[in-house]
């Protein structure tokens, strides 16, 4: 819960001042913006580029922008992109090698030319960032591409006050309130004037907050922010079964229900592409015709691809049922064994962007024997 002595208040000019302070510190600002019929992550110059007055209607297999009756800028649900696209890019060069008179010269990944400030990231995506950190930065072999982009990144989260039709972060414990992992947290308030409750979550965030034209938040403002976030949690339309998911998945390994899912699943991999925590990649080696230069590139891959599980002699998971089972079993079950946390943050992207309209919460409920 917010407290009056830690929460402050800024207006629209204060939000623009935040952008200015970030630019002065040489951050490249990445935040939500309306692009190609979606609210997606893009490079922003000013706060005016945020999706003011836009929201999105989402259902299984459906995403449509909608004009709002107000000018809220952070009341949209998760779009097709997340911070994963910035910090774990879809394609990256791992190394290159050149034959010279002195032998072979190799170079590693190119260091990023920018330092990122992620502004307006919803709490579910902040939770996804913690998952990627655990997998790609804090393991025995940190990923050099991810860590180079992640180091020095500043996170400004925007708490959710209006859930989307496919959201279920409340049942995953990842939102709609911001509970950690951020440098600054915003809660947008519309009634009584457009303003933002703002809190620091790190020394870097506190330094930035000190530069803004902020004033102490009144108890009324704090209560309004609490009420808005609590209402979002209470009205969230979807939820995961209220039982331990790893045990549920393990108990249903041989369930005939996997065949039912496979009859609908196109194995297109859309769910893994839009998922903010799916991190699997494949690698490709390329060389020029002279044999003097070679490179190794990696690109996102998906466990829905038939070639992903290829071993000598053929793929281990040739059918759609086994590939969907692998994805949901890892996401909701064995991820806990590997990384000590769930691989799902309840953003709902996999449901909204599935062309067959497969709903992960409904599939989990069916495995649990819940007719709803």
Q: What is the pLDDT of residues 121-178, one digit of tens each?
A: 999 999 999 999 999 999 889 999 999 999 999 999 999 999 999 999 999 999 999 9
Say if residue 68's pLDDT is above 60: yes
Say if residue 72's pLDDT is above 90: yes
Say if residue 372's pLDDT is above 70: no
Instruction: Say if strands 38-43 and 281-287 run parallel, antiparallel, or are unpaired.
Output: unpaired
Instruction: Say if strands 91-100 and 154-158 run parallel, antiparallel, or are unpaired.
Output: unpaired
Say if residue 345's pLDDT is above 60: yes
Could you identify the residue written with the tokens 């009756």? Answer: 69
Asked if residue 52 lies in contact with residue 71, where contact means CB atoms within 8 angstroms, the answer is yes
Q: Which of the residue ranges 109-113, 129-133, 305-309, 339-343 has the most confident prediction, judged by mean pLDDT?
A: 129-133
Those residues whose C-beta lies under 8 Å from the C-beta of residue 284, and which sit 6 or more positions away, are 296, 297, 298, 299
Asked if residue 321 lies in contact with residue 262, where contact means CB atoms within 8 angstroms, the answer is yes
Say if residue 248's pLDDT is above 80: yes
How many angstroms separate the first and last alpha carbons of the chain? 32
Q: What does the pLDDT look like over 288-334, one tens digit per residue?
A: 998 899 999 999 999 999 998 888 888 889 899 999 999 999 999 99
Which two three-digit tokens encode residue 150? Answer: 């992640």
pLDDT score for 370: 64
Asked if residue 43 lies in contact with residue 51, where contact means CB atoms within 8 angstroms, the answer is no
> Whole-number mean pLDDT of the chain?
93
Those residues whose C-beta lies under 8 Å from the C-beta of residue 252, and which sit 6 or more positions away, are 367
pLDDT score for 101: 84
Q: What average pLDDT does the segment 77-90 reach?
A: 95
Rounded Cα distance between 346 and 178, Å, is 14
pLDDT score for 87: 97
What phi and psi values does residue 239 have, to the nearest 5 degrees?
A: -155, 155
Those residues whose C-beta lies under 8 Å from the C-beta of residue 293, and which sit 6 or more positions away, are 96, 97, 98, 99, 287
Q: What's the CA angle centered on 187, arms 183 and 193, to 5 degrees?
A: 135
pLDDT score for 2: 57
- The radius of gyration computed from the CA coordinates of the chain, to the nearest angstrom, equals 22
pLDDT score for 216: 95
Name which of 358, 290, 340, 359 is nearest 138 in CA terms: 340
Q: What average pLDDT does the segment 344-361 reach?
A: 97
Rounded Cα distance between 84 and 100, Å, is 37
DSSP state of 110: P
pLDDT score for 48: 97
Say if residue 371's pLDDT is above 70: no
Say if residue 4's pLDDT is above 50: no
Which two three-digit tokens encode residue 311? Answer: 């071993």
Q: What average pLDDT does the segment 338-361 reach?
A: 96
Number of CB atoms found within 10 A of residue 361's CB: 24
pLDDT score for 112: 85
Which two three-digit tokens encode residue 91? Answer: 């394609």
Q: What average pLDDT does the segment 258-278 reach?
A: 95
Helices and strands (H and E) in the chain: how many:
14, 16
Asked if residue 11 lies in contact with residue 195, where contact means CB atoms within 8 angstroms, the answer is yes
- Write out the DSSP string of 347-360: --HHHHT-TT---H
Which of the four pLDDT bands, split at 50, 70 and 90, describes residue 14? very high
Say if residue 83's pLDDT is above 60: yes
pLDDT score for 6: 82
Q: What average pLDDT does the segment 266-271 reach?
A: 95
pLDDT score for 353: 97
Percent of the chain with pLDDT over 70: 98
Say if residue 66's pLDDT is above 70: yes
Rounded Cα distance between 92 and 145, Å, is 8
SS3 (DSSP) at 185: strand
């Amino acid at each position: 819960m917010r407290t009056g002595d830690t929460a402050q208040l800024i207006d629209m000019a204060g939000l623009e001042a935040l952008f200015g302070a970030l630019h002065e510190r040489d951050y490249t600002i990445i935040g939500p913006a309306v692009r190609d019929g979606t609210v997606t992550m893009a490079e922003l110059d000013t706060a005016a580029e945020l999706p003011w007055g836009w929201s999105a209607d989402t259902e299984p297999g459906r995403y449509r922008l909608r004009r709002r009756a107000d000018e809220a800028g952070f009341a949209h649900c998760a779009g097709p992109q997340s911070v994963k696209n910035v910090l774990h890019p879809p394609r990256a060069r791992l190394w290159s090698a050149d034959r010279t008179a002195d032998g072979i010269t190799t170079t590693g990944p190119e260091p990023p030319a920018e330092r990122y400030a992620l502004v307006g990231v919803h709490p579910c995506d902040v939770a996804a960032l913690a998952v990627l950190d655990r997998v790609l930065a804090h393991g025995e072999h940190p990923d050099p591409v991810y860590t180079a982009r992640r180091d020095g990144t500043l996170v400004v989260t925007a708490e959710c006050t209006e859930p989307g039709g496919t959201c279920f972060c409340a049942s995953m414990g990842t939102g709609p309130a911001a509970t950690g992992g951020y440098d600054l947290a915003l809660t947008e308030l519309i009634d009584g004037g457009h303003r933002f409750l703002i809190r620091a979550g790190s020394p870097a965030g506190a330094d930035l907050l000190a530069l803004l034209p902020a004033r102490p938040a009144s108890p009324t403002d704090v209560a309004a922010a609490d009420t808005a976030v609590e209402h979002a949690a209470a009205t969230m339309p979807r939820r995961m079964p209220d039982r331990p998911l790893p045990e549920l998945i393990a108990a249903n390994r041989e369930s005939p229900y996997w065949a039912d899912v496979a009859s609908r699943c196109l194995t297109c991999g859309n769910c893994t592409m839009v998922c903010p925590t799916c991190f699997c990649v494949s690698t490709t080696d390329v060389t020029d015709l002279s044999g003097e230069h070679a490179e190794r590139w990696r690109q996102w891959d998906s466990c829905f691809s038939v070639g992903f599980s290829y071993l000598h002699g053929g793929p281990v998971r040739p059918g759609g049922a086994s590939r969907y089972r692998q994805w949901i079993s890892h996401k909701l079950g064995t991820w806990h064994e590997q990384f000590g946390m769930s691989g799902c943050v309840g953003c709902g992207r996999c449901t909204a962007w599935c062309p067959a309209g497969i709903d992960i919460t409904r599939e989990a409920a069916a495995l649990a024997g819940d007719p709803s």
